[in-house]
Structure formats: structure tokens, C-alpha cells
Amino acid sequence: MSDSLMPANARPSTGVVTAPRRGRRSLAHSKWPVLILFLPPALLVFTVLVILPMGEAAWYSFFNWNGYGSPTQWIGLRNYQLIFRNSAFTQALINNGLIVLVSVCVQIPLALWLATMISSRIKGALLFRLIFFLPYVLADVAAGMIWRFVYDGDFGLVGGIAHFLGAEAPFWLADRDVAMYAILGVVVWKYFGFHMMLFIAGLQAIDKSVLEAADIDGATGFQKFRLVTLPLLGSTVRLSVFFGVVGSLQLFDMIMPLTGGGPSNSTQTMVTFLYNFGVTRMQIGFGSAVGVVLFVICVTLAFSYKRVFMRND
Amino acid sequence: MSTKIFRSSLRLTTLAFAGGLLAAGTAAADSVIRWMHVEQVPSTIGVWSQIAKDFEAKHPGVKVELQFLENQAFKAKLPTLLQSEDAPSMFYTWGGGVLEAQSVTGALRPLDEALDANGGEWRNVTNASAIEGLTFDGKVWAAPSKSGLISFYYNKDLFQKAGVDASKIEKWDDLLAAVKTLKDAGITPIAGGGRDKWPLHFYWSYLAMREAGQEGFAKAKAGDDDGFAGEPFVKAGQHLAELGKLEPFQNGYLGATWNDALAAFGDGRAAMILSFENTPATQATNSTDRKGLPDDKIGRFPFPVVDGAPGVATDSFGGLNGWAVTKNAPPETEEFLRYMGSLEVQKLLAKETQIMPIAKGASEAVSRPLLKEVADALAKETWHQNFLDQDLGPNVGAIVNDISVEIVSGSMDPADAAQQIEDAFSLERK
């Protein structure tokens, strides 16, 4: 990020623009008092609430510690060894990968498709926008609880449909092989509206004259989409994928009411794993180590994604 | 994650601020006993408040303040809270490994001195097994408040319909036979809450108690005879797997919470439930019509014994709760707890809040027949084993919960399960 900002700042001083130099220098000078005045509070808050806890977590991850007293039993990298040997963690990694995959390959195309349909001023577009965006407004926990009820085989919608058809009601959330797919369904339902809104905003920013020009050139609808809309929407798509990936890695609130990570850890994500195996078991050292691993994965992914795909955005 | 940390620290700050306000508001009192609990039943809190008021009336200058935290929040906050200035004077405990972990940090005050004061006045009125259950390293770390018992509750109508006689279920094989008979009659035999996991740990725990007996259990804890990987514990898993093969639970039990299981029993959708002493009340509140089964339609029988194994039917498994006192609590806290544990108050609590009292002779105040039966069983118990997910500490306890679900659903070998518990517990032995 800093790299992409640097040239932008540096450009004026090396540029050919012939604006008065003195003015700019005095501007640079006048920045210092502002910096000195305004940076420390933000820096302090950032240090106390972000840097310090992160450092603490990293420190605790080298101890076998239950959270009581102060950590004394140094065990080196053993927590990390235990994490990577834990089959539930492997499952969590796979699930996180699956969520990323689904949000990139299913959710975003779906959102894009819907966005192109309702971004134009057709009748009822606004209403549909509202309806599609509604799930995103719901709190994750509420969404999880609603869908837990929907999927319920005794009293839920799925159970009701099955009973109506005279079939035996399925219990998807109780089935190791199916539960994760049931959750993926909820994830797509919950977040596609958000991506759709991003795309609508992006679509509305596209200059109409470009599309008109394409029309005049005799482009078909699909050609217009592929050769004009999509390239011009590039930065929005990249941003959307970025949000999708980062959001997928942090998925927690919705899974807890749905399955709590079960049955048999089949729907564990990295964060539910951290909670179930670190916090509730009072294995604060172990949990911290999971936090560190999660942090490293998130940071690596976020930065490399920004580096590779969002360099010019 | 950082937002989570931020939120929790914000909450702590708010809590500290509120605590400060409370302290300021009550500065007139000489000492304030801050009583932290997780109780959600309004009538129980009403009774407690009255007890606190009575105590205040008898002890001028002392104020008792009830502070509530939701169960999960309480568990998550306690480690930080105990090390802060805002530690409560006394707080709810399930005993076991968690209490033991707290006791070694120096955050708690042992109660032996208070129990033995005036010629052991307090100790003498309290059930010895309750005190023993809250003793670690030779010191008593919490004042017992109530006891509990896990046993099978059954729907009399459904049993009759299938032709099963509950009084004949004495051995494990009898239970398996009853499950088969019920299934043949088209009735779901047992309500299970696999999502919460701990409801299924009752089965493994009871089977382990029956297979190992009190002595064998103590040996396993000490690490003798292969510890928890030993034969009795493998056998316990095998019995549980036998039960699992019969598919005794309601459909979708792996995704069902404890409340769902109680609802299944209360609605008459399942014939049995292995559950707490307060089941007659909780099955009603969780049932679809909020009425559930009337008391006279519910029967109770103890967990069956295993043929040829040392465990007996009077070896009981159930909760044991208490109040732990923190290091900086006002000295009147012990006096208050002694009052709470007195025969008079325990009788009141047994009658009004339907708990299993821990004062000697207080169980006569239990009047509801199904509860009376439990009180009598507890009075005759030969061994009281606290819940394993408390007793063995939160980590090993969670593993016991996990393996119970895995075994019963047929996805883990009993020997592997026993080995997993042993591996984890071996790290906790000193």
C-alpha cells in the first residue's frame, strides 16, 4: 500500500508541472505541526488496541497456559506443532478454502449477473435491490439462527417440505457430509447482496457513452458485457474478490448458531477452531498460536492480493 | 480479531466503570459482598435476594449485591476478572479442574478455617461428600451450594405402549433390550443432544464409572494401569458403541442441542432421556406446548450397571456446585456462605428453588415426588462423581465430550478414544 502511495506523493516534486515551488514546500512544512498534533493519539490507540494485543498473543503462543495467573510454562513451538497435527484444524483450513472458492466462483458471478440485470432503470429494480440486499443487513448471528430453523427437520421449512412430499425429513446440519454445503448455501445467500451493491455502484459509474458507442458499432449484449462492462468494472471485481476472501477467512458468527463447528468438526473454520479449541477449553496459549497462524495467513493473503491484483486500483 | 479484542476490552472497561459506580453508590455500607452468579430463573433470584436481605438485616453494615453474568460470558471473563481489582467476593463454581486451576493461582481464599470455626459448626451441618468434592490439595476451595444427579427419565405411556417395564432395567443389556423393543414398536427410544456434546458425555462417563468403579477411577486419575487408556475405559467406549449401533436417538440428534433433546422428550417424541434432576421442570419449559409431560407420566431409574464390573447403581454421577471466595473478599463473605449453607436456608432453597440441598437433613424439604426420589438416591449414594467435563478440567473434559459423540455415532474406535483422553490427561498430572 505504501508503495502505491509513494509515487503519487512524489510525483509533483519531480513532475514538469510548473506550479510555484515555494507554496508546496511551505505546505510540506506546515504538515509537521499537524502530524505531531494528530498522529500520537491515533498511534497510541492503534498500539494499545492492535499492536500490543498482537504482540501479546504471539508471546502467549509459546506457553502452555490456561489464562489464570501469568504464563510460566514455556513450551517453545509445541503449540504450533499441535495445531498442524490437529485434524480439526486441517478440516478448518479446507473449509476456509472451500468458502473462499464458493464466494469467488459462485457468489461473485451470481452477484454480478444480478447487478447487471437490476442496475438499469427497469420497473421494480429498486425493490429487487432492496430484497437482495436485505440478507446482508441481518446480523450474522440472526442469519445463522434463522437458517438453523429453516434447515430443521422437525419443525423447519426443509422438514415441512419433506413432510409435504411424503419423504423422510433430512437433517442437513446434523450430517457430517452435508453440513458444510448447507452452510455454504447460507454464506452465498447472506453476502451476495453486498457484492451486488458494489457491482451496481461500479456499473453506474460506467460512462453511458461508451456503451452507446458499442451499440452503434453493432455489439451484441454479451459482447458489450464482455468487452466493455467487465473491463471497466475490473477494479470493482478485484475489490469484491478481496472482500470475499478476507470475509471468508473470518467467518465465525454465522457458523456458531448453525452448527458450532460440528458435527465431528466437519464445519469448523479457523476462527471457530480458535474459539472451540482455545477459548472454551481454556487453552489460551494454544488459542493464541491459532490466532497467530490465522493472522499470518490473513496478512499474507491480503498483502499479496493487493500487490498482485490491485496494484493499479 | 482486533475488533473482538477491542470490543471485549471496551466491555471490561464498561464493567469496571459500572463496578466503580456501584461501589460508589454503596460507600455507606462498611463492607459489600459482591455475589456473582449465572442464574437466569427469576424466581430463584427472587429467593436469593430475600436471603441476602435477611442476612443484611442481621448484620448491620454489610451489604450483599447480586451480579449476573451470562454463563458463557462468565466463563470467558472470569480469568481476567479474578486478576483484577473488580473481582467479585464470591462466584459460582462447578468445582473440578477449573476450580483447581483457580485455586493454584492464589486468587481464592480457602474456607477450612471458617468451616472449622466454633468447633466445626459449619462443617458439621454439611454433607461430607459435598465438601470433599470441592477439596483440592487438602483445602476446601468453595462452599457447597447444591448437588445433582444424572439418571434416566422415561415416558410412562410410551413404555407401556411398547411393553417395556422400567423397573426391570438394571443392567446395561436390559437397557439395550429396552431400546430394541421401543424401536420395534416404532418409538424413538432416547432423546439426545449431540450438538452440545456434553449431554452424550453422560453415557460414556457413567459407563466408565460402572466399568472402573471408584477405585479404578482414582487409579486412572493417578496414571496407574494405563490411566484412562486402560481396559475399563476402552470397554466403556465399546458399550457406548453397542448403544450407538442400535441408533437409539431421534433423527438429526447430532445437530440437536440440549434444549432440542428436552423438547423431544417433553413432546413425547422420544421415550427416555438421560438427564439432570430438574428434568420434570425443564422438559416442560422446552416442550412445544410449554406444558410437556405431567409429573405422573414421568418415571425415573438409575443408570444401569454392567454385568461383572465393579461399579454399583448407587455410584452417582452429577453436578456439585459451590461458591468460591476470592482473596480480597470482605471477611463477612464466609459468614454469609455459612448462612446460605445452614439447614434453615437450605430447606428454603430446596423448597422454593427445587435444588438438591447439601445441608444434612435438608432434603426432607424436597416435596415433589420425582425430586424426592433423587434426594433419597443422593442420600444413599456410595460415590459422587462430578461431571467429567468439569472434573478433568476444561481441556480433557472437552475431549471426553468429543469422543462420546464420535463413539456413539460410530466414527471413532473406543480404544483410540480412550488413548486420546489419556494423552491429554497425562499432561495435567503433576
pLDDT tens per residue across span B134-147: 999 999 999 999 99
Which chain B residues contact residue A282 at CB under 8 A? 79, 98, 101, 393-395
Which chain A residues contact residue B256 at CB under 8 A? 174
* B198 Cβ contact list (under 8 Å, min separation 6): B258, B387, B389, B401
Residue A212 within any structural domain of the chain: yes
C-alpha cell of residue A303: 498483502
- Average pLDDT on B122-149 reads 92
Do residue A240 and residue A281 come from a single domain? yes
N- to C-terminal Cα separation, chain B = 34
Question: Mind listing the domains of chain B with CATH numbers?
Answer: 2-148+318-385 (3.40.190.10), 151-317+392-426 (3.40.190.10)
Tell me how far apart the alpha carbons of residues A282 and A284 are, in angstroms, rounded to a whole number.
6
pLDDT tens by residue, B222-252: 999 999 999 999 999 999 999 999 999 999 9
Does any CB of chain A come closer than 8 Å to the CB of residue B274? no
Task: State the residue range of the domain holding A45.
Answer: 20-60
**Domain count along chain A:** 2
What one-letter code names the amino acid at A298? C
pLDDT at residue A202 is higher than 50:
yes
Do residue A42 and residue A123 come from a single domain? no
Instruction: Inspect the interface and report whether the beta carbons of B194 and A169 lie closer than 8 Å.
Output: no
Q: How many CB atoms lie within 10 A of CB A157?
A: 13
User: What's the pTM value of the predicted model, to 2 decimals?
Assistant: 0.82
Does any CB of chain A come closer than 8 Å to the CB of residue B1? yes
Do residue A178 and residue A87 come from a single domain? yes
pLDDT tens by residue, B178-234: 999 999 999 999 999 999 899 999 999 999 999 999 999 999 999 999 999 999 999
DSSP letter (8 states) at residue A119: S
Do residue A156 and residue A281 come from a single domain? yes
Residue A73 within any structural domain of the chain: no
ipTM above 0.90, yes or no: no
Residue A69 within any structural domain of the chain: no
Residue A128 within any structural domain of the chain: yes
> How many CA atoms lie less than 13 Å away from A142 in the CB half-sphere?
6
- Nearest CA distance, A11 vs chain B (angstrom): 35
Last residue of a domain, one of A60, A87, A111: A60
| Summary mean pLDDT of chain A | 87
Residue A158 within any structural domain of the chain: yes
Which chain B residues contact residue A250 at CB under 8 A? 1
Mutate to test the interface with A, among B5, B9, B71, B105 (most CBs of A within 10 A): B5
Which chain B residues contact residue A246 at CB under 8 A? none
Does any CB of chain A come closer than 8 Å to the CB of residue B57? no
The pLDDT of residue B19: 43
Do residue A47 and residue A193 come from a single domain? no
Which chain B residues contact residue A54 at CB under 8 A? 2
What one-letter code names the amino acid at A138? L
The pLDDT of residue A27: 56
> How many CA atoms lie less than 13 Å away from A38 in the CB half-sphere?
5
Residue A205 within any structural domain of the chain: yes
CATH number, domain at A195?
Answer: 1.10.3720.10
Residue A300 within any structural domain of the chain: yes
Closest residue in B to A55 (Cα) is B2
Do residue A105 and residue A54 come from a single domain? no
Nearest CB among B83, B106, B195 relative to A260 is that of: B195
Do residue A102 and residue A227 come from a single domain? yes
Do residue A107 and residue A26 come from a single domain? no
- Nearest CA distance, B195 vs chain A (angstrom): 7
**Of A45, A222, A258, the residue nearest A145 (C-alpha):** A258
Instruction: Inspect the interface and report whether the beta carbons of B79 and A179 lie closer than 8 Å.
Output: no
The three state secondary structure string of chain B is CHHHHHHHHHHHHHHHHHHHHHHHHCCCCCEEEEEEECCCCHHHHHHHHHHHHHHHHHCCCEEEEEEECCHHHHHHHHHHHHCCCCCCCEEEECCHHHHHHHHHCCCECCCHHHHHHHHHHHHHHECHHHHHHCEECCEECCEEEEECCCEEEEEHHHHHHHCCCHHHCCEHHHHHHHHHHHHHCCCCCECCCCCCCHHHHHHHHHHHHHHHHHHHHHHHHHCCCCHHHCHHHHHHHHHHHHHHHCCCECCCHHHCCHHHHHHHHHCCCCCEEEECCCHHHHHHHHCCCCCCCCHHHEEEECCCECCCCCCCCCEEECCEEEEEEECCCCCHHHHHHHHHCCHHHHHHHHHHCCCECCECCHHHHCCCHHHHHHHHHHHCCCEEECCHHHHCHHHHHHHHHHHHHHHHCCCCCHHHHHHHHHHHHHCCCC
The pLDDT of residue A28: 59
Do residue A194 and residue A252 come from a single domain? yes
Residue A215 within any structural domain of the chain: yes
The pLDDT of residue B261: 96
Instruction: Inspect the interface and report whether the beta carbons of A282 and B252 lie closer than 8 Å.
Output: no
Dihedral angle of Cα A9, A11, A16, A17, to the nearest 10 degrees: -30
Which chain B residues contact residue A66 at CB under 8 A? 79, 101, 394-395
Do residue A53 and residue A121 come from a single domain? no
DSSP letter (8 states) at residue A253: T
N- to C-terminal Cα separation, chain A = 11
Do residue A40 and residue A111 come from a single domain? no
Does any CB of chain A come closer than 8 Å to the CB of residue B255? yes
Q: Are A193 and A136 in contact (CB under 8 A)?
A: yes
Instruction: Inspect the interface and report whether the beta carbons of A49 and B9 lie closer than 8 Å.
Output: yes
- Nearest CA distance, A291 vs chain B (angstrom): 8
Do residue A26 and residue A106 come from a single domain? no
Which chain A residues contact residue B1 at CB under 8 A? 250, 271, 291, 294-295
- Average pLDDT on A209-222 reads 90
Does any CB of chain A come closer than 8 Å to the CB of residue B9? yes
